[in-house]
Amino acid sequence: MTDLAITAETHADAATRASQVAGAMRGFSREIGAMSAFRMESCIHCGMCAEACHYYIATEDPQYTPIWKVEPFKQAYKREASAFAPVIRLFGLKRAVTAEQLAQWQHLLFDSCNLCGRCSLICPMGIDVTTLIEQARHAMFDAGLAPQELYDKADHQQLTGHPEASLEPYRQKLLDIGIRFNVPIPLDQPDVEVMLCVPRTDIDHYPQAVAAIARVMRHLGVSHTFRSDGLIAENYGYYAGSKEWQREISLRLIDQAVACHAKILLVPECGHAYTALRWEAADLVGKPLPFKVMAATEYLALALKSGQLSLGKADIGATSFQDPCKLDRMGGVIHAPRELMKAMGVDLHEMENSGNFSFCCGGGGGVVDIEQAKPLRYRTMETKLREVDATDTKTFLTSCSDCRRTFDDAKEHFSWDKSPQSLLELVAANLVATRPVTTSTGA
Amino acid sequence: MNVDLLSFARGPALKFALGIFCAGVVWRILAFCLLRIRRDFNRPRNSMLKYLWTGVFATASRSWPHPEFIKRTGAGEALGYSYHMGLFVVILLFGPHIAFLGSLFGITWPGLPSSVITAIAVVTATLFLGVLFRRVTTPVIRMLSNFDDYFSWFITMLVMLTGLAASAHLGARYETLLAIHILSVDVLLVWFPFGKLMHAFYIFPSRAINGAILARKGAAT
């Protein structure tokens, strides 16, 4: 190809990208809605949100200030949809967002934000910054600027139901786990009380967690099933910022839950899957879901309260607990894990920042899947690891498979001496029979 | 001449400024209210009464940082709230201000002695200078700052300084100083709907609405 041809092609690419960005920003401004417009209008540029963000705390680099992560989007909103937008455009008071500017922001919106919600707790104006960042991710996706890893996984999942190609079908992997751990795995049962989904992370990395939920459900004697066509809990559409793909991926589970007449769709230990299904799915399909979405821990805590579940004492010594951001701070499942631990007599030593104020593991928001985010993620995680170490505990629990994967990665990277264990597995290991276990749900 | 300037400042200029202020504030609020309001189809965790009450409670609770954040934000918040309180005291409890507000709204209330107000105004202006210092020396805040932040600071400071000069009769005849003070207020009123001063109208609804939305999910507020 001649230099001239290459230059012409480059210009054509640049023009296409510029038009794509302009479209995405107009779309963002139109779609943003009254509430998020209000959020952007309310910001007083006080910078307090930086003090809640573990990326800023670890680096002291101002660019990691949460509200700065939506700066181009504030700019676009003011130009396109704010009260004085025509005047702003007429006098050029805010420049149009450029493709180059937006490309710079990919690092800020994806590599350095876990969507953990800690910044939303510090704002003196009460602004939920995290929701703005989620909406900005949508525009980034529309502008063709989602990170490749997240884009590929989301694309694969919306087409196939699971985020990566697998030699062995996940259905088979699930059944193999049942055989390996000697627990029946009910699959594709027609009429059940509870439909279960499962994090792909658990199937691939922590099969014992899959066996644990199957064991606990069997113990409870509640009719339940996994569904071959709605198996994977994760939603990479959510991570990548594609509302359409997020909807498609959620619909697979929703359709299956409807097909088996489930009253409850139970999300095992996966924070963002819970958010996608519990707090966003109904909005994406445009109507209320005909079943409840529950996190495994809250379901089990309810069973404990009702006397349906009884737990023995767990002899695990002093224990710390990682609160998954999407389940507790952002999802309201804050007491359930502690009630379960209390019932098992766990000697819980809380971290300096725990519960609603816990720092993210560093992997949330899809960050654990982004290769280029690794160095910053490790740097940021040090804050968390120091807090875990400071508890001086033997056991480290969590109730999110992504947290678990992130900490296990840190274990390898830092030669750290701890490995998080699953709260669900601990529950499964300490079941005490309270009544005869029914077998109606067996495979 | 001075009397003419004063008459202009508190006559047509003030009327014009109040007109822009009222129309601008209403339009600024209406503009985003006219945007799409999403219906939330997700099943709430808390009852409507509970999450609305949590929202109302957040209007007050957000005035005080969560203990987990105090070490990092306490000084900044103390500075911010202190000068705001100083401003409110000076605006609402200074005799001539009460008389002016009384002429607008038809009610008056007891004020504080001028000497006390002057002392508070001096402290407030000093704190406000500290706010600017913090804005230009703190990398995060400097990065976030734009023309709006600096002009809003400037015009507010101008109002404070001209007010102090007028009450102390410093540098010119009282009528001239008062006219300049009122003109600076006129400029502030005109600027108000276009910039960040609007946060005076946003702060409590913002805390309440965001708080209620989070509380609907049972999320932390």
Token representation of residue B188: 């502030």
pLDDT in tens, chain A (443 residues): 556 555 665 777 777 778 888 878 877 877 788 999 999 999 999 999 999 999 999 999 999 999 999 999 999 999 988 999 999 999 999 999 998 999 999 999 999 999 999 999 999 999 999 999 999 999 999 999 999 999 999 999 999 999 999 889 999 999 999 999 999 999 999 999 999 999 999 999 999 999 999 999 999 999 999 999 999 999 999 999 999 999 999 999 999 999 999 999 999 999 999 999 999 999 999 999 999 999 999 999 999 999 999 999 999 999 999 999 999 999 999 999 999 999 999 999 999 999 999 999 999 999 999 999 999 999 999 999 999 999 999 899 999 999 999 999 999 999 999 989 999 999 999 999 765 444 443 33
Distance from CA of A214 to the nearest CA of B (A): 26
Whole-number Å distance between alpha carbons of A329 and A422: 19
Token representation of residue A428: 């499964």
Which among B42, B68, B139 has CB closest to A282? B42
Which of B140, B151, B191 to mutate to probe the A interface, most A CBs <10 Å? B140
**CB atoms B42 and A334 under 8 Å:** no
Residue-wise pLDDT tens digits, B152-179: 999 999 999 999 999 999 889 999 999 9
Residues of B in contact with A281 (CB under 8 A): 42
Which among A50, A126, A288 has CB closest to B211? A126
Beta strands of B124-220 (E only): which ranges? none
> What CATH topology corresponds to A3-145?
Fumarate Reductase Iron-sulfur Protein; Chain B, domain 2 (1.10.1060)
Position A442 scores a pLDDT of 35
Distance from CA of B10 to the nearest CA of A (A): 28
Cα angle, residue A132 at apex, residues A129 and A135 outer, rounded to 5°: 155
Rounded to an integer, the average pLDDT of B103-108 is 92
Which among A51, A126, A289 has CB closest to B58? A126
In a 10 Å sphere around its CB, with 0-12 CB exposed, 13-18 middle and 19+ buried, how is residue B53 labelled?
middle
**Ordered domains of chain B (ranges, CATH):** 2-216 (1.20.950)
* Closest-approach residue (CA) in chain A for B43: A288
In a 10 Å sphere around its CB, with 0-12 CB exposed, 13-18 middle and 19+ buried, how is residue B9 labelled?
buried
In a 10 Å sphere around its CB, with 0-12 CB exposed, 13-18 middle and 19+ buried, how is residue A368 labelled?
buried
- Work out the number of other CB atoms within 10 angstroms of the CB of residue A72: 25
**CB atoms B210 and A65 under 8 Å:** no
Of B135, B24, B152, the residue nearest B87 (C-alpha): B152
Rounded to an integer, the average pLDDT of B39-65 is 95
**CB atoms A127 and B65 under 8 Å:** no
User: Position A426: which residue type?
Assistant: L
B128, B136 Cβ separation under 8 angstroms: no
Residue-wise pLDDT tens digits, B192-212: 999 999 999 999 999 999 999
Position A440 scores a pLDDT of 42
Answer whether A117 touches B (CB < 8 Å).
Answer: yes
Whole-number Å distance between alpha carbons of A440 and A225: 11
For A291-340, give the secondary structure using H, E and C. Answer: CEEEEHHHHHHHHHHHCCCEECCCCCCEEEEECCCCCCCCCCCCCHHHHH
CA–chain centroid gap for B182, Å, is 17
What spatial distance separates the first Cα and last Cα of chain A, rounded to whole Å?
61
Of B219, B33, B71, B12, the residue nearest A118 (C-alpha): B219
**CB atoms A81 and B35 under 8 Å:** yes
Torsion of CA A28, A31, A35, A41, to 10 degrees: 30
Whole-number Å distance between alpha carbons of A382 and A378: 7
- Tokens 């005291």 identify what position? B89
3-state secondary structure of A434: coil
**CB atoms B220 and A117 under 8 Å:** yes
**CB atoms A44 and B210 under 8 Å:** no
User: Position A8: which residue type?
Assistant: A
Q: Which CATH class is domain A310-429?
A: alpha beta
Residues of B in contact with A45 (CB under 8 A): 141, 144-146, 149, 196
**CB atoms A283 and B144 under 8 Å:** no
- Which residues, numbered 313 to 352 in chain A, qualify as contacts with chain B under a Cβ-Cβ cut-off of 8 Å? 328-334
The helices-and-strands tally (H runs, E runs) of chain A is 20, 10
Residues of A in contact with B54 (CB under 8 A): none
Residues of A in contact with B140 (CB under 8 A): 47, 50, 56, 62, 65, 68
A430, A312 Cβ separation under 8 angstroms: yes
Position A18 scores a pLDDT of 82
**CB atoms A330 and B219 under 8 Å:** yes
Q: Strand A318-322 to strand A310-311: parallel, antiparallel, or no bridges (unpaired)?
A: unpaired
Whole-number Å distance between alpha carbons of B16 and B7: 13
For A38-107, give the secondary structure using H, E and C. Answer: HHHHHCCCCCHHHHHCHHHHHHCCHHHCHHHHHHHHHHHHHHHCCCCHHHHHHCCCCCCCCHHHHHHHHH
Q: Which residues pair with A293 in a beta bridge?
A: A265
- Which residues, numbered 156 to 215 in chain A, qualify as contacts with chain B under a Cβ-Cβ cut-off of 8 Å? none
Distance from CA of A401 to the nearest CA of B (A): 21
Which among B69, B207, B208 has CB closest to A122? B69
Query: Domain spans of chain A?
Result: 3-145, 150-307, 310-429
Q: What is the pTM of this model?
A: 0.93
Residues 6+ positions from A195 with CB-CB distance below 8 Å = A224, A225, A226, A227, A230, A253, A256, A257, A260, A262, A264, A265, A266, A291
Q: In this structure, what DSSP letter does residue A352 have? A: S
Which of A31, A43, A121, A298 to mutate to probe the B interface, most B CBs <10 Å? A121
Position A14 scores a pLDDT of 76
A320, A396 Cβ separation under 8 angstroms: yes
**CB atoms A125 and B141 under 8 Å:** no
Q: Read off φ and ψ for residue A341, nearest 5 degrees.
A: -65, -40
Position A9 scores a pLDDT of 58
- DSSP secondary structure of A145-212: -S-HHHHHHHHHHHHHSSSS--SS-HHHHHHHHHHHTT----BS-SS-SEEE-B-HHHHHH-HHHHHH
- Which residues, numbered 18 to 47 in chain A, qualify as contacts with chain B under a Cβ-Cβ cut-off of 8 Å? 31-35, 37-39, 41-42, 44-47
Quick one: which H or E segment has residue B4? Answer: helix B2-10
- Which residues, numbered 254 to 313 in chain A, qualify as contacts with chain B under a Cβ-Cβ cut-off of 8 Å? 278-283, 285-289, 292-293
Answer whether B137 touches A (CB < 8 Å).
Answer: no
Give CA separation, A175 vs A16, A122, A167, A222, A307, in Å: 47, 46, 15, 19, 30
Q: Which residues pair with B112 in a beta bridge?
A: B94
Distance from CA of B9 to the nearest CA of A (A): 27
Residues of A in contact with B82 (CB under 8 A): none
CA–chain centroid gap for A389, Å, is 25
Which among B32, B139, B203 has CB closest to A34? B32
